[in-house]
Structure 1
Amino acid sequence: MKVLVTGASGNVGGYVVKELLNMGEEVVAAGTNTQKLKELFGEDVKPVHFDFTDKNTFSKALENVDRVFLMRPPHLGKPEDLYPFIDAMKDHHIKLVSFLSLMGVENNTIPPHHKIEKYIEKVGIPYAHIRPGFFMQNLSGVHSLEIREKNEIFIPAGKSKTSFIDAADIGLATAVLLHETQKYKNTAHTITGPEALDYYQVAEILSKITGRKITYAKPGFLKYRSYYIKKRGLDKGYVNVTVALYFMTRMGTAKEVTNGFYQLTGRKPRTLEDFAKDNIEAFIK
């Protein structure tokens, strides 16, 4: 039987596909753009058109599939948006779903991930939740524009610390869960990078790697929200979710460092400095 990977063209999904293939698994890559999936993975995977908002795409995506990597698309802010597909997984007798959740979400009801976890458990699908810290790719992705063009990190995290983790490490850990179904049935795993850093320290690391003076702007929530919606043109729902996450970060929810990644993989997680070196093109003009 095969593994269905939702969000296969995204940061984490692509790494999940790669690691599952390395383990000898057959993979179905799901997304709204099958041509893009073909270009990314070639003949190694089966691409399938899939849309969380279109129930007509569910059965085809779940055909000959017994495990699922479930990722909430950023533009679907309400947990209820994923419930119909979760119900479909139940009807197809999926033997394990690994949901990409958030560190600390078991004690935090604000992000949609909390209700999604609870709904999966409620309907009775065997699960292996993966709860990572903040992605290093947030810095090389959505927040890289300000770093490149203004030499500043524009994130409303105050003086809080974050145990950043590389999406590649998340992908490997998730693949382990999906590959060893019985071992990890009905479990949850908090995985982080090797250290907790505040954004002043992040700025120092980026300054060292780029050879430029990078500073941490430390904006307030309202200034951050207004900038990303009005200046950057990002979806309001997506920005609101990030505001909620940074609010919780200020409460100390992102600073925990765990050995969950090592327990699953036998490897040490990547450091932010090594990640920045390997992705320096994201931070230079």
Structure 2
Amino acid sequence: MGQAILVTGNVGQYVVKYLEARGEEVVVAGSRLDELARRFPVARQVQLDFEKPETFEAALDGIDRVFMMRPPQIGDADVFQPFVDAMAKRSLRLVTFLSLMGVERNPFPPHHKIEKMIEVAGLPYAHIRPGFFMQNVTGVHAEEIRNDDSIFIPAGRSKVSFIDAEDIGKAIAHVLSDPEAHQNKSYTLTGPEALDYVDIANMLTLLTGRHITYANPSMLCYRSRYVKERGLDPAYVNVTMALYLMTRLGTAKAVTDDFERLTGESPRTFAAFASEHLHAFER
């Protein structure tokens, strides 16, 4: 049996960083080997495409633990069944799936079905259910902040316990490094406080010296802008709308101590994160 850890997805960059720091053998997986080689010069790289079962065997060769993340462009949970079946044929010590905060009570997002799929397959699992990533604000939503001094997110006045994706990676590395201790458990990872988007706008106003406001658009306005004006994939935008609908129902506001219990550290604040990433909001 292998002793290497297979790591997928964007959050994988942080998982890899902290696993390598702990001396673990890491194999990074993705659909483009050239991109993987550029981003991960130390780790072994393998091709893995969840929509191409012919890539599964080589990707899982010599692997005893897996960190699995749903690529944002795949909205259909059933796509993952063949890969889950391939994992179930091996003696894996742990499958760590990057899920979603509150998803155990909400069957709509694909993460819910994927969690169940992994459980039904009899795989030893650790579901990681983070709150909203701080990187969403510096990433996909930074465009309106840069160009319009506006946060264009249809979340109403709901509060969100944002977490830095790097903290998520750090916690996952702890879990994967001690797989038997975390089998068949779920962890909800959040930052240290719950903020609404007016709070975020006020923080960004102070940090940038520009007057940043929260637009609070309707779901339809948001969808129209992100699909028609910004040209994003409608399937991706639909999944984000489902998440913001959940947020409006109060599913994203809880603050937990799971990160602290796993790592022995405090999670990063949004103010600290934003001040380090101010370049994302510059015109």
Deviations 1:10-68 (A, max 9, x none): 1x1100011110111000000111111111121x1001111000001000000000000
Q: Percent identity?
A: 57
What residue ranges of structure 2 are gaps of 5+ in the alignment? Answer: none
Q: How does 1:106-255 map to 2 (within 5 A)?
A: 106-255=104-253
Give the distance between the partners of 2:102 and 2:14, measured in 1 at CA. 23
Cα offset, 1:254, TM superposition: 0.4
2:19 matches 1:20: yes
4+ residue segments displaced more than 2 Å: none
| 1:47 match: secondary structure | strand
Give the distance between the partners of 2:206 and 2:57, measured in 1 at CA. 50
Give the distance between the partners of 1:92 and 1:283, measured in 2 at CA. 45
Match of 2:60 in 1: 62
Give the distance between the partners of 1:81 and 1:176, measured in 2 at CA. 28
Match of 2:34 in 1: 35
Match of 1:53 in 2: 51
TM-score (norm 2): 0.98
For these two proteins, the number of residue pairs brought into alignment is 281
| 1:16 match: secondary structure | helix
Q: Amino acid of the residue matched to residue 8 of structure 2?
A: T
Q: Amino acid of the residue matched to residue 37 of structure 1?
A: L
2:6 matches 1:4: yes
Give the distance between the partners of 1:231 and 1:94, measured in 2 at CA. 45
Cα offset, 1:162, TM superposition: 0.3
Cα offset, 1:104, TM superposition: 0.5
TM-score (norm 1): 0.98
2:248 matches 1:260: no
Give the distance between the partners of 2:91 and 2:228, measured in 1 at CA. 44
| 1:159 match: secondary structure | coil
Q: Amino acid of the residue matched to residue 94 of structure 2?
A: L
Bigger Cα displacement from structure 2, 20-29 vs 32-41: 32-41
| 1:25 match: secondary structure | coil
Cα offset, 1:93, TM superposition: 2.1
What residue ranges of structure 1 are gaps of 5+ in the alignment? Answer: none
Q: Amino acid of the residue matched to residue 199 of structure 1?
A: Y
Of residues 88, 99, 102, the one that matches 1:101 is 99
Bigger Cα displacement from structure 2, 85-94 vs 125-134: 85-94
